[in-house]
Amino acid sequence: MELHTLEGQQIGQYKLLAWLGEGAHVHAYLARSAETGEYRVLKLLKSNLTSSEETLARFYREAQAALDLDHPNVVKVYGYDREGDLLYLVEEFYEGGSLMDRLKAHPGPQPLDFVLRTLEDIANGLDFAHQRGIIHRDLKPENILYNRQGRAALSDLGVTKYADEAEARSRQGLLFGNPNYMSPEEWQSRPIDARTDIYALGIILFEMLTGELPFEPTKTSSMMFVHLLHLVATPRSLLQLRPDLPPALEAVINKAIEKDPEQRYQTAGALAVDFKAALAGSTLNSLEGSEGEATVNANEAFGKTAERVAAQTTSAPEVVVVRRPLSPVLLAAFLAALLGLLYLWWRAQQSPETEEETYTPL
């Protein structure tokens, strides 16, 4: 069955009105309930993901977890069901579209009040999810949706993993997500946690403020080299692209996208608090050091003092080569990894890269 050709069909109480697109796991449809008349989004699990009992068990587990996420900044999942061979989720419909829609319709820097409002909404949603042991792992502009009033919410938490599952699967070397927003630890197949989402949020903020990405390579193979081989020490300078912004704002963004998770903001709320303070020219709420175990208290002191922030450099990105001596075993492993990356790079040049996600809510 071709999942993108089901317009007009009835699934359960829902009539499929329009195919919205597809993601890594699902095909999405705008649907209307025959019982209530309300509009919903139906996400149909791709058939290749329903072939094993393990996958089905994971789907039911994650769908049930999504039902428990009741927060104004998380897209509501109303239920899940099966009809024949079709497994599907029923989600809230957001009329305002996605952040990606906004970036395409209005390219370039976004209004600062819009950026701040989006950040505060998404930080609230992330902290709520993180407190419950759920990380998104695929945060990007397509997964930030707006309602009719312009409030933002996280989408696709229903197909994410609990933190312990994500860690286990990451250790197996499996890569998920859009390469432009993937953290260094994801590229390196290291354990991930809530700070992986904070990294992606920092990339999104940079993009909203400048209309560009902080790291110029856009091909998957290029991003792999950047993060695995540590070829780039710093992102592009926010202030070189936006000299009109407060200098402290660059330090906030750079902290959010630090390569070392320990050096990042430990909660999305803490990032939002410092971002707002930097915009207002106020003293930041952060203190130098590490929180240890992340909390969801957005006002908890963390990070750098205002004096440190003011002293942050705004120089252009530099290339840094790591020169630590390697043992023979580590050297052999490094060379093997390098050969693998060269092969992946060669393969990437042979054919155009395909977009991972084409789902754009109406």
Q: Is residue 44 pLDDT above 80, yes or no? A: yes
Of 203 and 362, which is predicted with more confidence?
203
| CATH top-level class of 99-322 | mainly alpha
Most confident of the following: 62-66, 139-143, 314-318: 139-143
Three-state SS letters, 48-95? HHCCCHHHHHHHHHHHHHHHCCCCCCECCEEEEEEECCEEEEEEECCC
Q: What is residue 115's DSSP assignment?
A: H
pLDDT (0 to 100) of residue 313: 28
pLDDT exceeds cutoff 90 at 70: yes
Domain boundaries, the chain: 3-92, 99-322
Check: pTM over 0.75? Answer yes or no.
no
| Residue percentage of the chain with pLDDT more than 90 | 48
The per-residue pLDDT for 288 is 42
Give the tokens for residue 162: 């609990």
Predicted confidence (pLDDT) per residue in 263-321, tens digit: 999 999 999 999 999 999 866 665 344 343 333 333 332 333 223 223 332 332 332 32
Residue 82 backbone phi and psi in degrees, to 5: -135, 135
What's the mean per-residue pLDDT of the chain? 76
Active site residue 138: yes
Portion of the chain with pLDDT greater than 70, in percent? 65
In CATH, the number for domain 3-92 is 3.30.200.20
For range 342-362, the mean pLDDT: 47
Single out the catalytic residue among 138, 156, 197, 274: 138
Between CA 200 and CA 267 the distance in angstroms is 13
- Binned at pLDDT 50, 70 and 90, residue 50 comes out as low
Q: Is the confidence at residue 100, as pLDDT, over 70?
A: yes
SS3 102: helix
